[in-house]
Amino acid sequence: MVEEARALQAMASKSQTAAGLVRIDGIEPALLSAAGVSDKAAELVFRFLLTRGDALGGSMRNVGGVLAQRKFTRCVIATLSVAAIPYRWLHSSSNTWISMTKDDADIELNLKGLSWSSDRRTRTILYNRTPPFVKRNVDLCLLNCEPSDAKSALRTPPLYVALGELKGGIDPAGADEHWKTAQSALKGIRDAFSKVDLSPRTFFVGAAIAPQMATEIWSQLEDGTLSNAANLTGSNQVTSLCQWLCSL
């Protein structure tokens, strides 16, 4: 975005007047962005950066979520590999299940699901799905099904083993807000399943855990509201949670 501003500055400097800007080819979208900010921003380039900065904030929040998912996925894969449990993974572009290979470097970049079999049971994790009876996006769904049956399993409440919320934001100032959002989502999940007399396990993984938030999480773990939780920046905690998840 800074490079875009520099390019805008170079092109806009060809005009001696504000009116002349509209006659310069290729900068109209940038001019519209610049015009969307209050008059407190004195220069066109700074106006452009301020407007684009808000978009950058949204983009970085999305990046944080993606990186958190990749880190969590890599830990699950490592847990399965250490236990010598073969797995299959769902490619995000081709939407096909691929068997594990010895070279699994960077597969988390294109992965939106994992499946493995152990102790005569098959488990499948799907990311960012909306169960029709929950009616909201769930970050992590662990299902009791073969990967080929995952689509139909999403519509079948008894096949849900565990559901979790994953928050990758690392700003301590926003930790409580992430926790409130996750709590609301997890409560919605529990309420939806209680209507059909089911209570699958629920868990929370967050990259920023504030002290008050930690107290609330611990309390929910003690009373059974939450089945498990981990700080994404704590390797031991994440590994422990992944071991638990892979053993369900």
Which domain CATH number covers 150? Answer: 3.40.91.10
Domain count, the chain: 2
- 126 and 180 in a common domain: yes
71, two tokens: 């880190």
Distance CA 15, CA 13 (A): 5
Model pLDDT for residues 155-180, shown as the tens digit of each residue: 999 999 999 999 887 677 677 888 88
pLDDT one-digit tens code per residue, 92-127: 889 999 998 887 888 888 899 999 998 889 999 999
Closest CA to 86 of 122, 53, 61: 122
Residue 165, H or E segment: strand 160-167
Q: Are residue 139 and residue 199 in the same domain, yes or no?
A: yes
Q: Could you tell me which residues are beta bridge partners of residue 125?
A: 114, 142
Same domain, 67 and 178: yes
pTM for this entry: 0.74
Range of the domain at 211: 60-247
Given 35, 57, 79, the domain boundary residue is 57
Q: Report residues of the chain scoring pLDDT below 50.
A: 37, 39, 41-42
Same domain, 81 and 49: no
Place of tokens 């920023």: 208
Q: At residue 158, what is the residue type?
A: P
- Tell me, yes or no, whether 173 and 184 share the same domain: yes
Segments in the chain forming alpha helices (H): 2-12, 28-35, 44-82, 150-153, 175-194, 211-223, 235-247
Sign of CA pseudo-dihedral 200, 204, 80, 142: positive
Same domain, 198 and 83: yes
Judgement on whether residues 107 and 213 belong to the same structural domain of the protein: yes
Residues 6+ apart with CB under 8 A from 159: 143, 144, 145, 153
Q: Do 195 and 115 sit in the same domain of this protein?
A: yes
Shared-domain flag, residues 154 and 243: yes
